[in-house]
Amino acid sequence: MILRPYQQQSIDSVLRKWAQEEFNRLLGISPTGSGKTIEFAHIANARGQDGGRVLILAHRDELIDQARDKLFQACGLLI
């Protein structure tokens, strides 16, 4: 899946901040329809490849299903 430039910039920013040891919690804010789920799929994939753990929480089963689908579409991850 090809990312939009602003999505890649957002992902790079999060990963860069995490690389700095003083940052271990980050908040990303984007408008509706901007591809947040795709972004976090790529971030989760990058963290997993670096040996990190990823926990995805949502308050609705539909959102978990959406996240699972996007993780597969964006990165080929099966959960």
> Considering the entire predicted model, what is its pTM?
0.79
Q: Is the pLDDT of residue 7 over 80?
A: yes
Nearest CA to 73 out of 37, 28, 32 is that of: 37
Checking if the pLDDT of 25 tops 90, the result is no
Residue type, 7: Q
Residues 48-74 have pLDDT tens digits of 888 888 787 888 888 888 888 888 887
Please, where are the H alpha helices in 1-79? 5-19, 36-49, 61-75
Q: How confident is the model at residue 75 (pLDDT cuts 50, 70, 90)?
A: confident
Q: Are 14 and 46 in contact (CB under 8 A)?
A: no
Structural domain boundaries of the chain? 5-20+33-75
The pair of structure tokens assigned to 77 is: 């991850």
